[in-house]
Chains A and B, each alone.
Chain A
Amino acid sequence: MDTTAKTAYLTKEDAVPAQPKLLAHPTAKTGLMSWLTTVDHKRIGFLYGVFALFFFLVGGVEALLIRAQLMYPNGTVLSAQMYNTMFTMHGTTMIFLAVMPLSAAFFNYIMPLQIGARDVAFPRLNAFSLWTFVAGAIVLNIGWIGPIFGVDGHNAPDAGWYGYSPLTSRQFTPGHSVDYWVMGLQLLGVASIAASLNFIVTIINMRAPGMTMMRLPVFTWMTLVTAFLIVLSFPAITIALVELMMDRNFGTVFFEVSGGGMPILWQHLFWVFGHPEVYILILPAMGIISEILPTFSRKPLFGYPIVVFSGACIGFLGFAVWSHHMFTTGMGTVATAAFALATMAIAVPTGVKIFNWIGTMWGGRLMMRTPMMFALGFVWMFMIGGFSGVMHSAAPADTQQSDSYFVIAHFHYVLIGGSIFALLAGIHYWFPLMFGRKVSEFWGKLSFWIIFVGFNVTFFPMHFLGLNGMPRRTFTYDPNLGWNTANFIASIGAFVLGIGIAVYFAVMIYTYYKGEKVGRDPWDGRTLEWSIPNPPPEYNFRVIPTVHDRDAFWYEKNNREQIAAERAVAEKAEEAHGGIHMPFNSIWPFFASFGLLIVGIGSTAFEAKWDVPGIHWKLGLSLLGGLVTLVGIYFWSLEGNEGYHLHLDKDGKPVKGHGDDHGPAKH
């Protein structure tokens, strides 16, 4: 069963067409070129992870600067403007450049393995998503250069992570900061939508035989729901950003009051995206937890269909509650009531997940390994965050809480206690699979406890701060308002949390090089990704597995003879088919993304006037970038999605001489 080989171009049997030099397939297996041209979902996932963790540290340092400023009343660590830049970039970075790509890393790496596929449906599109994400990240952060070199008007974005109009207009933010923000998010949107379309097709179409939808691992299910959320919610912000961009550059009046525009429209469009976005951040995390808890309880997930259904339900309801971020905008009674009730309703499917996780553990045998610790930490912390969410949903009470530190407490509990805890758990859980090494239990648990304590010390007091009236996004506060102690504790907590994260990373890096080596399936796993050797070979599965049960690998382990017999037959069939089909590497996705980077920088960093006579930098670079992208896409489509065949020896190593067979696939 070779699923990637289908779309070959040729109508004449296996003869090779003359291939111009430009379309020669890159073959580097190591070195920089191999990374730039890779289409292997595992390498792409790894790169996503590396970039995401880097930006997590960047966002973390920004957070620490925030906390340093607020440690004492009337702090002077940062100037007002720098502080505003800091929280804007902290929020934007953490959400778009840390949590989302880290989830994408797992989608890429783990999901194809869980459904028994050899790659995603469109490997080159996948590479394009990755590099476009990097381009977006660069554009978003390029404004930092301005203050460093003292260039006026070029600073990092500073209008808050939801950039409410009309503060973002040319009139009120004349510099380039908002341009970077708009273009950066726009590129990230392109990347996310492209990646998600790919995941949707992969999950629906590339499942191994027998892997019905109701047998998909929950993580894969949540990947699917998340991908749908991305595909359906990002358009809203894309259009909103286009409108804002036009207002700033072409004089349109979408949000200009002088022309009759209504700035409130921006808020609606942003949150139509923004609320699904927060579920985009949490659903993958819930998926990870739904993998870890059963494994370490040594029991199947309790109430699988309901967990899956509630995940989809959360996703769907998530589109109907956006205005709960706007309870203070005077929507009128009926609208407020409707959105308040819809918001409360989301607590039900979310609660279902919590109950089922507890049900999973009930009667199990809990192996308190590090991933399990993080997973349990998730359940506790997410619950607290969820409860403060429900408190927000009571609209009149929320008018006191919104834009105060109570909100900050709420969403850090769901984002760190939720998303980040789960992602850190996931790294621990799948580390042996990715690198064949296991993190030391002692150091892993130590980092967990420091993070856990630091996190609670940081954010629990913020509930009290919020109720005590401390507004968010304030670079300073007076000492007579009763906020000093709580702020001090929170800042200390943030540094403890920082140390915890530093320990976590140090341990990971150490383990990567020197950690204890482990064999296949170290946790006694239940899903297919554990059935392959670690680190996984390029082709993933020697033979595409046939799935008989929800916990596919658990079933395999309990029915070894049956599976072995099946495998032998399937392997023969596959070999008769021409071997394992592998897609060629390609530089064109990278090339196309690079063009987008040129567009991104060209259209934002330059003024719209002819600064050097004869050279219109803004227009010129944008057009040039567009051209580069077009050329990239053109060659990408001309080169076609051909591939080569691998033949394996007994140990699963590719047989020499066959490995580079450029024969196009034909079935």
Chain B
Amino acid sequence: MSATSHSAGGHSADHGHDESKFQIYVQIAMLLAVITGIEIVAVFLPFPKWVLVASLVVLSLVKFLFVIFYFMHLRWDKPFCTILFFIGLVLASGTVWALLALFSAEASLPLPTS
């Protein structure tokens, strides 16, 4: 579709990546689909649980990063956008982690239903 555009010529050097963006996007979409497929298959494989959890986390992280850095342009934008988003991301993950840890502590287990 982008091939129908006839304004690309007007853009200067820093727009050199535009030509290939279509390719990049499609390739990444394929990659994301493949990773999702792997994830779905992985959960049914007979590996130790921690291996699977770790690999699921890593795979999702990879997907996550691809989307934000390519689809969402962070890779081509000013680093400040990345910093801004990561402030929220880091604090949110920290809070989620802390909450899970707090609730897993022995003192916080819910009462056994008798």
Contact = CB atoms under 8 A, between A and B. Distances in A.
Chains A and B directly touch (beta carbon < 8 Å): yes
A323 B95 contact: no
Contacts of B99: 268, 272
B102 interface: yes
A260 B102 contact: no
Interface stretch (B17-25, B32-40, B86-94): B86-94
B110 A262 contact: yes
B91 A268 contact: no
B105 A335 contact: yes
Contact of A335 (B91, B94, B107): B107
Contacts of B91: 232, 319
B26 to A, nearest CB: 29
Nearest to A326: B102
A335 B102 CA distance: 7
Nearest to A334: B105
Contact of A331 (B80, B88, B94, B102): B102
B87 A331 contact: no
Interface in A221-255: 228, 231-232, 236
A323 B80 CA distance: 32
Given A228-B87, A232-B88, A268-B102, A331 B95 contact: no
B109 to A, nearest CB: 10
The dominant DSSP class at the B interface is: helix
Contacts of A331: 102, 105, 107-108
Interface of B: 80, 87-88, 91-92, 94-95, 98-99, 101-103, 105-108, 110, 113
A375 B91 CA distance: 33
A277 to B, nearest CB: 15
A268 B100 CA distance: 11
Contacts of B108: 264, 331-332
B105 A232 contact: no
28 contacts: A204-B80, A228-B87, A232-B87, A232-B88, A232-B92, A236-B95, A262-B103, A262-B110, A265-B103, A268-B99, A268-B102, A272-B99, A319-B94, A319-B95, A320-B94, A320-B98, A323-B102, A330-B107, A331-B102, A331-B107, A331-B108, A332-B105, A332-B106, A332-B107, A332-B108, A335-B101, A335-B105, A335-B107
A262 B102 CA distance: 13
Interface in A242-287: 260, 262, 264-265, 268, 272
Nearest to B88: A232
Most buried by A among B87, B98, B103: B98
Given A260-B113, A262-B110, A265-B103, 14 more contacts: A231-B88, A232-B87, A232-B88, A260-B110, A264-B108, A268-B102, A272-B95, A272-B99, A319-B95, A331-B102, A331-B108, A332-B105, A332-B106, A332-B107
**Which A-B residue pairs are the 5 nearest by beta carbons?**
A332-B107, A332-B105, A330-B107, A232-B91, A262-B110
Contacts of B94: 319-320
Contacts of B102: 268, 323, 331, 335
A334 B98 CA distance: 12
A546 to B, nearest CB: 22
Contacts of B106: 332
A205 to B, nearest CB: 10
Interface of A: 204, 228, 231-232, 236, 260, 262, 264-265, 268, 272, 319-320, 323, 330-332, 334-335
A204 B110 CA distance: 46
B55 to A, nearest CB: 29
Contacts, number: 38
B96 to A, nearest CB: 10
Contacts of B88: 231-232
Contacts of B80: 204
A557 B88 CA distance: 41
Nearest to A336: B107
Contacts of B105: 331-332, 334-335
Contacts of B101: 335
B12 to A, nearest CB: 19
A231 B87 CA distance: 11
B8 to A, nearest CB: 17
A336 to B, nearest CB: 9
B30 to A, nearest CB: 34
A10 B84 CA distance: 31
B70 to A, nearest CB: 24
A232 B106 CA distance: 29
A262 B109 CA distance: 10
Contacts of A330: 107
A410 to B, nearest CB: 24
Nearest to B102: A335
Nearest to A333: B107
Residue from the set B99, B103, B108 with the largest chain A CB neighbour count within 10 Å: B108
Contacts of A264: 108
Contacts of B95: 236, 272, 319
A663 B108 CA distance: 64
Contacts of B113: 260
B38 to A, nearest CB: 32
A330 B108 CA distance: 8
Nearest to A233: B91
A450 to B, nearest CB: 42
A580 B113 CA distance: 70
A321 to B, nearest CB: 11
Contacts of A260: 110, 113
A260 B111 CA distance: 9
A268 B103 CA distance: 10
Contacts of A320: 94, 98
Contacts of B103: 262, 265
Contacts of B92: 232
A232 B108 CA distance: 26
Contacts of A204: 80
A268 B113 CA distance: 23
Nearest to A276: B91
A232 B101 CA distance: 21
Contacts of A228: 87
Nearest to A319: B91
Nearest to A205: B80
A466 to B, nearest CB: 26
A231 to B, nearest CB: 8
A231 B89 CA distance: 12
B104 to A, nearest CB: 10
Nearest to B95: A272
Nearest to B107: A332
A228 B92 CA distance: 13
A228 B91 CA distance: 11
Contacts of A332: 105-108
A264 B98 CA distance: 14
A422 B36 CA distance: 54
Contacts of A232: 87-88, 91-92
